Structure 1
Amino acid sequence: MSPEIEALALEKTYPRPWWPRARWREAPRTALRGVSFEVRAGEVVALIGPNGAGKSTLLRILSGLLLPGAGTARVAGRDVVRERPGCRREVGAALADDRGLSPRLTARQNLRFYAALYGVPPREVEARIEELAGLLEARRLLEREVRTLSTGEKARVVLTRALLHRPRVLLLDEVTRSLDPGAARRLRTRLLTDVAARGAAVLFASHDLAEVEAVAHRVLLLDGGRIAAEGPFSEVRPTAEAVFAAVPREEE
């Protein structure tokens, strides 16, 4: 069986800023340097690494929001560049700083809109919204306008949206960082267990190593845009601790 997520020699460099106030000495920044890995159906893989390691860039490429500079990636059997629309129908993405919700609509209205966009059968929409809102402790938010929600409450709605169409691949980028640690860990543990049990492939970025140890089948450690270590958490942990210890405090 082919992997649900497949990356081969992915690279991405952000060019020198062009706007007038950009610092003229600022050089292009390389975010990914030859990243290759696979994630199979039913597997939960954690993406860890210090800030600036390339985690968000990688997830945005896999979700079809950013083009790679070199290399290839396939999601649910589709090339993320050549078959981008088809990829997006197979992916549920909840990324950091997501701004895809309409602020003057209620959470339920937003979810109905995305359900139609993803092609969820109309007769199933309300049942799916209620089921997922219950799973993510978000039922009390459904009738409120998004503009009245806190950052943590919006994160619950974004997670609900990501799961509405029952995607084959789920990508999460620190989307619950605005929740208190207990709620974030509880939601992600419950969510990842449920999604993986349905056969979806999950790739999630996290700074919570205790959570990673509890829920991830495998860990990818990114450092400087490269995979520094890969494998079960117990094997990756010594290298991860060394990498995090080497990061200057102001960059953490």
Structure 2
Amino acid sequence: MHLSSTPARTPSDLAVAVASGAVTVVDLTAKLSASTPVLPLPEGMAPIPRFELEELAKYDERGETSYQNGIHTGEHVGTHFDAPCHWVTGVEHGDVSQVPPERLVGPAVVIDKTAEVAENADYLLTIEDVQAWQREHGPLPKGWLLYRTGWGARSHDQELFLNADGEGPHTPGVTPECAKWLAEETDIIGFGVETVGTDAGQAFGFEPAFPVHSYLLGAGKYGITQLQNLALIPPTGALIVVAPLPIVGGSGSPARVLAMVPAAGQEVD
């Protein structure tokens, strides 16, 4: 049985497969720290606060047996989840606390455009790209489409990651036509990327501006960003777990994202 089509027959089957090594758990999450890159927003929009730890106690007079911190961060920092209400088009589809848990677990497929992005940092995924992938691998699942661009290798450095000049950031994304098509003509639950946001760096100039946000969140679908290790995920066959905090009223949340992948040469029965 293939992970991308149906889950294991019982939860214990999956547990045995993980314990035996037949299924590998791959962490797709970037480490979260004060150096995590943050997207500078256009003039007129409130800036996203960086992640910070505030030490509250560390085995001292503030708490001799404990170590604990306060956390200060924006919702959309590091590997994070975009809830529909993050965008004005998705207000009616709810906040991050209202996402049904069954929509946070599902099959994931990967479309790889690292070669194209290596030649053109502003490369945009097209409908034709996705349709060509489908001809080779089959239809998109009722799950997650992950967009591999190689950009995760830049995430240790803010300047390299944002890749900005006088025209703004230059990072890969999706054409407006493809974003609309993914939102309206496919069964995907959400869209995941390695970049700082689900839209291209130059998407502020598109029509509509930031079309992945506008169309997918407007359709009640989700985004996940700043993913790592997509090179370890096959085009099909993975099961993904997306775990944002259920923040009441939240437009998103930092998230731990895990993928379960059949080990090389293994079938999960």
Shared fold, TM over 0.5: no
Higher relative contact order structure (alpha carbons within 8 Å, sequence separation ≥ 6): 2
Higher helix share: 1
Normalising by structure 1, we get a TM-score of: 0.28
TM-score, with length taken from structure 2 = 0.27
